[in-house]
């Protein structure tokens, strides 16, 4: 009677070795994506994970093992844009309460001298 007691052997045998192969692929793809997202920034930490879940079912002295492989990879960082919201709900790149000093000459204020 052959006894299987170590996790490495069990995982290697699941689905005829397909689970171990799929897990290896998922780890490699996740690491590649994390490296891509970190770019050339040496102090940037980008995190993800790969999970292997074993669902165990025992009935009448037999065991059935089904697997789920899941990974979480961060989404690429996106920039943001800043605008002013005007009274009518439209957007502007200029502050609505400031005059544009680069729009050209303005008429001088009419001053009366006394």
Domain count, the chain: 1
In a domain, 80, yes or no: no
Q: Which residues form the domain of 26?
A: 7-72
pLDDT of the residue at 74: 84
In a domain, 62, yes or no: yes
Burial class (CB in 10 A: 0-12, 13-18, 19+), 12: middle
**pLDDT interval class at 61 (50, 70, 90):** very high
pLDDT of the residue at 43: 82
* pLDDT one-digit tens code per residue, 15-49: 999 999 999 999 999 999 999 888 877 788 889 99
Instruction: Decide: 74 and 47 in contact? Cβ < 8 Å.
Output: yes
């Amino acid at each position: 009677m052959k006894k299987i007691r170590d996790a490495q052997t069990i995982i290697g045998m699941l689905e005829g070795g397909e689970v171990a192969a799929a897990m290896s692929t998922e780890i490699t793809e996740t690491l590649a994506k994390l490296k891509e997202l970190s770019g050339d920034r040496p102090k940037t930490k980008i995190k993800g994970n790969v999970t292997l879940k074993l669902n165990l079912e025992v009935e009448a002295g037999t065991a059935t093992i089904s697997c789920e492989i899941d990974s979480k990879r961060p989404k690429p960082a996106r920039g943001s844009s800043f605008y002013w919201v005007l009274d009518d709900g439209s957007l502007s790149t200029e502050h609505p309460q400031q005059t544009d000093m680069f729009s050209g000459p303005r008429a001088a204020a009419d001053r009366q001298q006394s």
